[in-house]
Structure 1
C-alpha cells in the first residue's frame, strides 16, 4: 500500500484595514498640499488679502486632525506611548499653560481665533511627531522644494516689474513700492519664507548635489535683497551659522571641509550685518517703531509677569500701553498693532514669564534632542540625518527672524513652524515597529450604510455651499485687467481642486471605514469647514462695505456689513465699522429696517450705532478709535439738536438741554480717547469747540494749550513740530481769541 501524504492547511492572513492604510498615505500628502497652498495663495477680494491663507490653514488642519482621529479609532490604538510622551511633554505643558492663561483673560471672544490657531499648530506638531515616518518627511520636503520654486521664481517677476512694468500681471504688484513680497502678506513674511526654505533647499543640495537646487538658492538670495528685510538677513546668517555648527559638531563621520564651512558662515554673517545696517539706514523709521513697541510690551510684562494676558490678547491690551511716538511714526490713528515685533516679549506679555520659560524649555528640548539624535544615528541613516539638520536649521532661522518680526503669528509662517517642530520630533522619537490593523466587520452594517448615505449627502451639500458662496464673492469683483482675470481663474481652480480633493479623501474614508464613529467624524469636519469658509466670506463682505463707504455709498454699504456680521458675528471690528456708518447717515427717524440690521424693534441710526459701539466696548474696550468714534457720535447728535433749537424756538430749551447732555457724554468718551491716543488733533478740536459753544473760553484755551505742549513723555522735536504747525489748531486759537474779545466788558 502506498503511503498517504497529508498537507497542513494554510491559515489565511488577515487582510489589512483598508481605511487605516489609506489614511496613512493621505496624511503626508494632505500636509504637503496644505504647506504649498498656504504659502502660494493670495486673494485681493477680502479686506485682508492674506485671509485666504488663514482659511486654508484652518480647513486643512481640521481635515488633518479628523483624519488622524479616524486613524486612531480604526487602529483602536492610543497615539501616545511611553516613548513619545517623554518628547511631547514640553509641548503639552506649554499648550496647557497657554490654555490656562487664555481662560483667565476677560475678553476671550476677540482673542479666541488666535488661541484656536495656537491649538491647531500644536495639533499639527503632535500629529507629525506621532505618525510621520522618514518617508513621510521626504514627501514634505518635496512639497517644500516645489513651494519654494513657485514663490522664489515669482519673486523674480516682481523684481523685473520694477524696471519693466507689466511683467508681473497680478493685481497686487507694487503694494510695497519696490520691496517684493511674492505670494506672502508683506516683504518681511517673504523674507522669513526665504530663510527657512533656503535651509531645507541647502541641505537637499548637500545631500543630492542637484545643480537646480543651487540655482534655487541663488534666486532666494536675490529675492532676499529686494525684500529689504533687515531681520531676514540676520535670520539667514543665524540659520547658516547654526547649520554649520550642527553639521561640524554633531553629524556622524563628518569632519571634512570644516574650515570652509566656518569661513562661509562668517562671510554670510558679515554680509547679513552689513545688509541689515544699510536697510536700517534707509528705513530707520521701522527701527524706531519696533523700539517703542518693545518698550510698551515690556510695560505689559511688568504689570502681569506670571500669568500674562493670554494668547491672542496682545492687540486688545497693548493700546493701553502704546507710546505716543507710535502715532507720529505711523501717521495714523486707526492702525491696530497686533503683535510685539519680538516673540520673546510677546510670549512674556501674553503667557507671562512662566509661559516664556515653558516655551524656551520646549525649544531647548527640541534642539538638545536634535543634537543627541544626530550623534546617535548610524551611518546607514544618513538621509535621516540630513533631514533633521535641514528642518532644525529652518526652525532656528524662523525663530531668529521672530525676534524682530511678527511672522510666526500668521498662517504662512506659523503653520510651517508647527510642521518643523513636528518633523524634528518625528525624527528624534525612537521608532517602534507596529503591525498594521486588520480589517474588521461592521457591527451594525445597515446603520452604517444609512449613515454613509447621510454623510455623503452632507459632504456634497457642503461642497455645493462652498461653490455658491464663492460665486457670490466672484460676482462682486470687477475684472478689468488680465491680471485680475488670472487671479480669479487661479482662485476658482484652487477652490474646485480643494473641494474635489476633500470629497475624494472623505469619500474614500467613508467607503472603506467599518466604524460609525469615523463616519460621524466626517460630519464634524464638514461642519467646521463650512464655518471657516463663512469667516472667509465675511471678510469679503466687510471689504465690500468699506469700499462702498469710501466711494460715498454709506447706505448701500450697510447690506454688505450685515452680510459680514451674519457670517462672523464674533468679530467686533465689523460692528465697529458699521456703527461708524450709522453715525455718518444718522437718520433720527425711528423705523424698523432689516436692511439696517434690525431684528425685533424699530430704531434710529443713533440707537443702532450705540448698540454696535456697546458690543465693541464689551469685547475690545482699548481700541484707540473706539472712544473717539463714540465721542464724535454724541457730538454730532448734540450739534443736530442745537440746529433744531434754532429752527424751533418753541422747543429751544428742550433741544439745548438734550444737546448739553450729549456734549457731556461726548466729552467723557473723548477724554477716554485721549488716554489711549494723546496725539489726535481731532479730539482736542472737538473738546475745544464744545467749550466754545458753552462760551467757556478758559476750558477751550486749556485744550488748545494742551495740544500745543504735546503728550507727556514726547520730547522729540520732529514730533512736537506737528503740534505747533497744525493749521486747524491755529484756526481754533483765532476763534477763541475772537470769542474772548466779544465776552470782555
Structure 2
C-alpha cells in the first residue's frame, strides 16, 4: 500500500535522470545562457520576475481583466526568456510541474476536439497564461526572500481591499446584482464587495489573505509586524463574514479547521503533554462555540446560515441546483474530454441544456466545471494534482518542522488555502476570475517551491499522518 501511494504521489520520480537524458531539455533549456552571462539585465532575472508577479497581485483587484491578461503574458514571456538562458541545473521540475503539464495537455486535446473550437481556444489561452504564471512563480519563489516579499505585497493589497469593504458596510453600498432572494429577511442587508464588484468573488479573494495573515503573526519578527499581521487577520475575517457569501463561509470554516490542525501539529513538539493532547479539541470547541453564538444571536448570520439548508426554498439554492442538473447532462453527452476550456465555450453549449429562465455563465461548482470543460479525464488529473500537492506539501512540512524554520508557516498557509478554496469551489466558480485564479496558481507555486529539498528527506507520509499525530 505504501509503495502504491509513493508511486501515485510521484515521490520517487527520477526527474534528474529525465533531465539529463531528455533531448528536448538539452536542446532548449539554456541555449542562450552565454548571452545571459554578459547581460547586466539578466543578472537580476529573479528580481525582475518578482516585480512582474507583484504587479499582477497589486493591480488585479482594481483593473480590468484585459490588463491582468497582458501582465500574465509578460510573465509568460519572461519565464520563456529565463528558461532559454538558465543554467540547466537551475531549470528544475517537480511532480507538481508534471501533473500541471499533463492537465494542460488534456485541455489542449479538449480544445482541439471541442464542438466550439474558437471559443474553447480563448479559454485555452487564458489557462495557458495562468500556467505560465505558475511556472514563473514556482521558479522564483524558491528564494525565501522573494517568497516573503510576494506574500507581504499581497497581504497589504488585501488589507486595502478589506478596509474599503468595511467602509461599504458602515456607509452602505449599492447591490450591483441580485445576490439575495428579494423575499428573504436579508434582502435589505448590505453585502460588501469592495473593489471586486461581487461579494462571492471578494470572499474567495480574502481566503488566502486570512490564512497568510494568520501565519504572519508567527512568521514575522518584531511586535510591530506581528501587530500589523493581527490587524490584517481580524480585518480580513470581518470583511469576509460581511460578504454574507455562504460559499465563502464554508471555505472559511474549512480553512480555519485545517489551519488549527496544522498549527497544533507544528507546535506540538514544544507543548507540555496536556496541551499536546487537548489543545486541538479545546480550540475546535472554542471555534464551534463562537459559530453557534453567532448563529443564535446575530440575526443576519442566522438567516444566511439557515438558508444553506433550505434546499430549493432559497432562490439561490434553487438556481444552482437547476444549473448543476443541466451541467450533469452536458457531462453525460461528452464524458471523456468535455467541451473545451473557458466560459466562452460554456456559454455557447450550455443554452442547449439549460432549463427555462436559468441562464448561467458557469457550472457554479469547480469539479463540475472541470468535468464539463475537460471531461472525466481532466477531472481525474485535477484531483491527482490535489492529492500530490497535499501529500508532497505535508512531507515538506514534516521536514521543515524537524528543522524548526519559520518557512514552515508559509507552507502551512498554502496547504490551508487550498482546503478553503476547494471547499468554496464546490458551490461556486468565482475562482476562475483573474483576481482569484492568480491566487490559486500562486498557492500551487508556493507549495511547488518547497519541493526542491535536500537529498536526505523524511519518508513520504500519508496526509492522515498529520491528523493522527495531533
| TM-score, scaled to structure 1 | 0.49
* Alpha-carbon distance in 2 for matches of 1:15, 1:112: 37
CA distance in 1, matches of 2:410, 2:369: 30
Residues in 1 aligned to 2:235 and 2:112: alpha-carbon distance in whole angstroms: 45
Change (3 A) 1:304 1:373: same
Aligned to 1:30: 52
Q: Is the 8 A contact 1:230 1:275 kept in 2?
A: no
Q: Are positions 1:277 and 2:330 aligned together?
A: no
Aligned length: 388
Q: Distance in 2 between matches of 1:384 and 1:123?
A: 25
Across the aligned residues of Structure 1 and Structure 2, the Cα RMSD in angstroms comes to: 2.7
> In the alignment, which residue of structure 2 is the partner of 1:323?
355
* TM-score normalized by the length of structure 2: 0.76
1:279 deviates by 4.9
* Partners of 2:238 and 2:321 in 1: CA distance: 28
Deviations 1:463-496 (A, max 9, x none): xxxxxxxxxxxxxxxxxxxxxxxxxxxxxxxxxx
Unaligned runs of 5+ in 2: 1-35, 178-187, 296-300, 456-470
Is the Cα–Cα contact under 8 Å of residues 339 and 373 in structure 2 kept in the other structure? Answer: yes
2:384 is equivalent to residue 384 of structure 1: no
Give distance in 2, aligned partners of 1:417 and 1:192: 10
**SS at 1:175's partner residue?**
coil
Instruction: Give 2:133's aligned residue.
Output: 124
- Say if 1:340 and 1:406, in contact at 8 Å, map to a contact too: yes
Q: Does residue 18 in structure 1 map to residue 40 in structure 2?
A: yes
CA, structure 1 residues 350+407, in 2 after alignment: closer, same or farther (shift >3 Å)?
same
When residues 130 and 221 of structure 1 are mapped into structure 2, their CA distance, relative to the original with a 3 A threshold, is closer
Contact 1:251 1:385 (8 Å CA) reproduced: no
Distance 1:250 1:314 in 2: 43
Go from structure 1 to structure 2 and tell me whether the alpha carbon gap of 1:135 and 1:399 turns closer, same or farther (over 3 Å shift).
same
Does 2:280 match 1:258?
yes
Q: 1:621-677 CA distances to partner (integer Å, 9 max, x unpaired)?
A: xxxxxxxxxxxxxxxxxxxxxxxxxxxxxxxxxxxxxxxxxxxxxxxxxxxxxxxxx
Instruction: Note if 1:314 corresponds to 2:346.
Output: yes
Question: Tell me, what secondary structure is at the counterpart of 2:341?
Answer: coil
Cα 1:99/1:184, change in 2 over 3 Å: same
Q: Secondary structure at the match of 1:428?
A: coil
Quick check: 1:341–1:405 contact (8 Å CA) kept in 2?
A: yes
- Deviation track 1:709-740 (CA, whole Å, cap 9, x = no partner) reads xxxxxxxxxxxxxxxxxxxxxxxxxxxxxxxx
> Closer, same or farther in 2 for the Cα pair 1:71/1:321, shift >3 Å?
same
2:351, 2:283 → 1: CA distance? 46
Q: Residue 179 of structure 1: CA displacement?
A: 1.7
Give distance in 2, aligned partners of 1:252 and 1:99.
46
Q: Which has the higher contact order (CA 8 A, sep 6+)?
A: 2
Distance change in 2, residues 1:126/1:431 (3 Å)? farther
- Residue 429 to residue 323, structure 1, CA distance change in 2 (3 Å): farther
Q: Give the secondary structure class of the aligned counterpart of 1:120.
A: helix
Provide the residue aligned with 1:196 in structure 2.
208
1:224 aligns to 2:224 (yes or no)? no
Q: Kindly provide the CA deviation profile for residues 554-587 of structure 1, in whole angstroms up to 9, marking residues without a partner as x.
A: xxxxxxxxxxxxxxxxxxxxxxxxxxxxxxxxxx
Q: 1:292 aligns with which of 322, 327, 333?
A: 322
- Aligned residue runs from structure 1 range 476-515, under 5 A: none
Which of 368, 383, 391 is 1:345 aligned to? Answer: 368
Q: 1:275 to 1:19 in 2, by over 3 A?
A: farther
Change (3 A) 1:23 1:347: same
1:56 aligns with 2:86: no
Structure 1 residues 422 and 300, CA gap change in structure 2 (3 angstroms): same
Q: Which runs of 5+ in 1 are unaligned?
A: 1-13, 43-51, 163-167, 331-335, 433-745
